[in-house]
Amino acid sequence: MRKWLSPALLLCAILVVQVCAAQETPQGKSQVTLTPEELAAGPGEVATAPTVSNPAADAAAPELPASSAPALLPISFLTSTTPRGPSEWRVMGNQWKGVAPDLLGDQKRMWLFPFSAAARHHWKPTLAIIGATGLLMTVDAHDARWARNNLQPLSGFNNVLAGYNTATATEAFASAFYLAAIARRNSYDQQTFILAGEAVIDAEILTTVMKDLGGREAPVTYPTGGNFTDSWFKVYHGGWLGGIGSMPSGHEIAIMAVATTFADRYPHPAWHRWVAYGLAAAVGLSRVTLQAHFTSDTFAGGALGYVIAHYLVLGRQPSN
């Protein structure tokens, strides 16, 4: 390569930068000019800071001593670079690394809720949920007998919303939603998936403990002609942390946690909420008609799923 080619290319590049800067400078404003010595500076060398050309001011101003000359600046200072944002993998890593601390904090607040409810006056909604669940318990036997005697007309509905189908559909939707969010580089959607997963985990931990403590039999286990009244503290063959009792409904608490997360984070248009809560209600109804749970089990699962997602998980988010 000839010796003059590199300085010529550098000169052309500087001229292009100057032309672009001149186009962006408003009319009437002084422009930055470079001396021939600055233009001849090599890529790794330094150039004096640009001076503003103003003939009238230069004639009136006295000469400055050499010691007051402008400081030397690298020629790369003349060009501006846009800082690059974090990579997609780093964004995803930052989202996932907070899952474990969030879950631990959720569990702490969940099991200390009786104390916080008394201190923060949350006892009114708490008593409302407990009271509604208690009232539904009084009609559990009636509802179970009705479901036992009217299964045939609801066979199609029950087959579509069977436990395996609802669990598979929920997992498939959440997985497809997350993969689409990754493909679109949408961090908000990715965070929604993570929050919904945290809500489900929190809900299932609570459900497992409550099932083991209550040991309630499901209506489907009763023989023909059973009265469905003596159901509590019957199921223990699964051992502790088996989670095979009937109260509350594990399917309903999970689907309501997912529905609440999506309904709260995507409130517009309004039909999002109707679809989310409508599907959750349909799943809850299927738990009763399938005789997998009593009415009070389903209501308690839905109420707890909503509270955990809305107040516990999404409540710690600064903005949804």
Tell me the C-alpha distance between 94 and 314, whole Å.
18
Tell me the C-alpha distance between 159 and 278, whole Å.
18
Tell me the C-alpha distance between 72 and 50, whole Å.
10
pLDDT in tens, 254-280: 999 999 999 999 998 989 899 999 999
Q: For residue 222, is pLDDT > 70?
A: yes
List all residues 6 or more positions away from 170 whose beta carbon is below 8 Å from its beta carbon: 254, 255, 258
Tell me the C-alpha distance between 301 and 274, whole Å.
19
User: Any idea which of 19-28, 75-84, 90-99 has the lowest mean pLDDT?
Assistant: 19-28
Confidence tier at 132 by pLDDT (50, 70, 90): very high
Greatest mean pLDDT range, 16-30, 107-121, 293-307:
293-307
Helix (H) or strand (E) holding 72: strand 72-74
Q: Over the range 288-310, which residues count as b (16 or more CB within 10 Å of their CB) and which as e? A: bbbbbbbbbbbbbbbbbbbbbbb
Q: Average per-residue pLDDT in the chain?
A: 77
On whether the CB atoms of residues 190 and 178 are closer than 8 A, the answer is yes
Greatest mean pLDDT range, 65-74, 90-99, 105-114, 306-315:
306-315
Domain spans, the chain: 35-51+58-81, 88-316
pLDDT in tens, 36-93: 554 455 544 444 444 555 555 455 555 545 544 445 445 444 455 555 556 667 777 7
Mean pLDDT of 218-246: 80
